[in-house]
Amino acid sequence: MSDARQPASRATARSTEQDAAQRATSLIRQGWRQLARLAPAAPACWLASPGQPLRPLSRAELMARVDAWHQWLDNLPAAHAGRRPGARWVLFQPTALGACVQLLALWERGMLAVLPGDDRPETLARLAESSDGKLPETSAAGWPPEQPGTLSSTDSTDSAGSSAAPNTPFEITPDGARLALELCTSGSTGEPLRIAKRFDQLEAELAVHRTLWPLASDTDSASEPGTVSLSQVSHQHIYGLLVSLLRPLSEGVPFLSETCHYPEQLAAAIAQLSGLGHRCQLVSSPAQLARLPQASDESRVAGQAQVLRVFSSGAPLPAEAARHAENCLQAPVIEIYGSTETGGIARRRQHETPHWTPLPEVELRFSPAFAVRSPFLEQSDQWWQQADNAAPVAAEPPAQGEQHAAPRFQLLGRSDRLVKLAGKRVSLSAVERCLNEQEEVLEVRCLPMPTRDHRLGAVVVMEESALPQDHASRRDLIARLRRALMPGFERIALPRYWRFVTRLPLNAQGKFTADSIARLFADLDDHRLPRWLGESSSGPQQLTLEAEVPDSLCYLEGHFAAQPLVPGVVMLKWARDLGRRLRLAGVGVQESRFQRLERIKFSNLLLPGMRFTLAATLVADSHGLRVDFRLESRAGLHASGRLRYGAETDNTPLSSPLSSPPTTPTPEAS
């Protein structure tokens, strides 16, 4: 039996667990194995399965999965380069559990993990050229795919794996200078960067986090409910990897096997874990925290939950979003400022101060340029110049729990955002600052449009009530914003292409990526598309698109000369396209099984320039699957109905009546 189940006093068991945790936090020395030997029955992870209650996975069961991946690697052909120490394996896993067991197996064999930021074919193909292979996707429970001679990938092996803490099948030299992994980051330009991290860099940052924000309290032990780490961000990036995976792993604190992409998933996980007496630490991002329910629905997220703290990183969190998240989750929201290259630099809690405090061990200088020096950097004794501008601020009273006021600073925007347009240098930051001064503008991002003679585009965040809803109001708003810029900028610096949104379409890391930019401006090159302005979802079975009808939409031609309008069949096509992206218990619609349209109604004309939402929901009933949709705007409901998909193949596919006509490019209206 594990130490946690010995008939010793609760205090003794707690002390033993905490002492061992202090000794076993090293990634270099395989601390996860030490923790598994100490208390093999203690939970290492909570398995999340659709429609099922969360299930604890013990430390011994976690190690059994790691051992299964060792066996998978052993069964590769003898000549395979991926069998040798030092091999480079591309690792992309959709679940934290899958990433965890594969990463540990690679590290125990002295191998290097290459973590791509996405699983697009072009990304994986590029990385494959400089690696020895790509690890396959694990099962939902973390097992490898079936291979002759490997352990079974079914859950029936759980009981065998949990009988005792496994022995370490491989020994690695405890050398902090050894490379642990490579992270791939692209930023908003799409230009890929590869950032290598050594074990000592990761260890140094984990130690700072343990000091500032302890995961385990004095009352936590392997035999009692404690803290569980939940995540809404990807473990494929440095922030999610460190905070949501490596920290709980190295400290013996369980984590959730799946990422909580949707507020409903988060609410369900928090409710179930708190019902079992656990506290939750949430690792999130500005994009995810902005999607938390509004005040009337806050009880769905918080309820009786015991949320220890919330982390946010990737971009500064707007003050209102920080306030709302603290009220909604009833926990402090701590922002971490940093990058893949530098690791963490500073932290803040806006409830206490809007300014940033450097992390322990981090040195800053502000002249001649903002730069950082820390043990988290590849060259810990050298200064790394930041792309941001920053300035120190006057000393403030010590925050709660601090004996002395720490030096603080404020961020002043990026310093590297100069572009050349028609041979003239233009500061994107200066254009953004001017637009941000306008009353209706909450936030703005300017960017050069490489396929449009390097004219500028602007993505403007506004309150929903201030958004333009039709052609005339959009033209008036653009004219006002351009007039505000004219006194200080040449005409070449005035944005030509405008997108008005309620929030920036950021990814899970809080980044405004090349993919988001491409979607916002895709209608410039494909005149069959509505103008994409964002989307929201309450789960994989539901999606709401926010869009506009561009003047260049090819379907307007011939419908009609006096007043162009969007044909009803085009609205059905957009509903079909949205429905194809939905999943219910992992299953989506198959176009070959389309049967018929049901309850179709066209209530109002949809005109050029109109802003609209298209909501689609995938529903299963006794006849098969159906997609329910509603297309509406401020003018009211435009179209609604159902797309019915049955179990039998039908000879009248949906693509026939909704096929796209040839496109005739027309000028894009700004």
pLDDT tens column, 561-603: 889 999 999 999 999 999 999 998 778 998 889 999 999 999 9
Give residue 189's pLDDT band: very low, low, confident or very high (50, 70, 90). very low
The span from the CA of 522 to the CA of 278, in Å, is 45
Give residue 192's pLDDT band: very low, low, confident or very high (50, 70, 90). low
Q: How many percent of the chain have pLDDT more than 70? A: 82
pLDDT at 508 (0 to 100):
63
* Mean pLDDT along residues 96-103: 97
215-219, 276-280, 427-431, 543-547, range with the lowest pLDDT: 215-219
Give residue 18's pLDDT band: very low, low, confident or very high (50, 70, 90). very low
Of 336, 273, 258, residue with least CA distance to 308? 273
Under a CB-based contact definition with an 8 Å cutoff, are residues 498 and 519 in contact? Answer: no
* Mean pLDDT along residues 277-286: 94
Give residue 286's pLDDT band: very low, low, confident or very high (50, 70, 90). confident
pLDDT tops 50 at residue 650: no
Could you tell me which residue, 6 or 488, shows the higher pLDDT? 488
CA distances from 419 to 96, 120, 185, 488, 493 (A): 39, 29, 22, 17, 10
pLDDT tops 70 at residue 343: yes
The span from the CA of 329 to the CA of 111, in Å, is 40
The span from the CA of 196 to the CA of 180, in Å, is 8
* Mean pLDDT along residues 512-530: 90
pLDDT at 539 (0 to 100):
87
Could you tell me which residue, 452 or 116, shows the higher pLDDT? 116
156-160, 342-346, 480-484, range with the lowest pLDDT: 156-160
The span from the CA of 343 to the CA of 347, in Å, is 12
pLDDT at 173 (0 to 100):
59
337: three-class secondary structure by DSSP: strand
pLDDT tops 60 at residue 120: yes
pLDDT at 355 (0 to 100):
95
* Mean pLDDT along residues 13-20: 42
633: three-class secondary structure by DSSP: strand
Of 201, 262, 192, 211, residue with least CA distance to 232? 262
pLDDT at 645 (0 to 100):
95
Of 141, 135, 145, residue with least CA distance to 161? 141
Count the alpha carbons within 13 Å of 592 in the hemisphere toward its beta carbon.
2
The span from the CA of 452 to the CA of 295, in Å, is 42
pLDDT at 513 (0 to 100):
79
* Mean pLDDT along residues 526-530: 95
* Mean pLDDT along residues 410-424: 77
pLDDT tops 80 at residue 439: yes
pLDDT at 169 (0 to 100):
54
The span from the CA of 488 to the CA of 493, in Å, is 10
> DSSP string covering 2-37, please?
-GGGSSS-HHHHHHHHHHHHHHT--TTTTHHHHHHH
Q: How many percent of the chain have pLDDT more than 90? A: 60
Give residue 217's pLDDT band: very low, low, confident or very high (50, 70, 90). low
Over residues 242-281, the pLDDT tens digits come to: 999 999 999 999 999 999 988 889 999 999 999 999 999 9
* Mean pLDDT along residues 301-324: 82
Q: Which of 18-22, 28-32, 76-80, 160-164 has the highest mean pLDDT?
A: 76-80
pLDDT at 165 (0 to 100):
38
pLDDT at 82 (0 to 100):
93
pLDDT tops 80 at residue 127: yes
Could you tell me which residue, 290 or 231, shows the higher pLDDT? 231
* Mean pLDDT along residues 3-23: 39
The span from the CA of 343 to the CA of 104, in Å, is 21
Q: Is 641 left (phi over 0), alpha (psi -120 to 50) or beta?
A: left
* Mean pLDDT along residues 52-77: 95
pLDDT tops 70 at residue 190: no
The span from the CA of 105 to the CA of 376, in Å, is 24
For the chain, the average pLDDT equals 84
32-36, 214-218, 300-304, range with the lowest pLDDT: 300-304
Q: Amino acid identity of 349? A: R
Under a CB-based contact definition with an 8 Å cutoff, are residues 650 and 670 in contact? Answer: no
* Mean pLDDT along residues 383-408: 76
Task: Calculate the dihedral angle through the C-alpha atoms of 54, 329, 292, 269, rounding to the nearest 10 degrees.
Answer: 0
Give residue 656's pLDDT band: very low, low, confident or very high (50, 70, 90). very low
* Mean pLDDT along residues 2-10: 35
Of 298, 88, 257, residue with least CA distance to 182? 88
pLDDT at 29 (0 to 100):
78
The span from the CA of 107 to the CA of 170, in Å, is 9
* Mean pLDDT along residues 181-200: 76
pLDDT tops 60 at residue 209: yes
Where do runs of H (alpha helix) occur along 490-607? 514-520, 568-579
pLDDT tops 50 at residue 11: no
The span from the CA of 298 to the CA of 304, in Å, is 11
What the block records as the tokens of 60 is 């011994």
pLDDT tops 50 at residue 152: no
The span from the CA of 302 to the CA of 267, in Å, is 7
In DSSP terms, which residues pair with 183 in a beta bridge?
A: 115, 195
Strands (DSSP E) contained in 417-573 are 418-421, 424-427, 443-449, 455-461, 497-501, 531-539, 542-548
For the chain, the first-to-last Cα distance in angstroms comes to 70
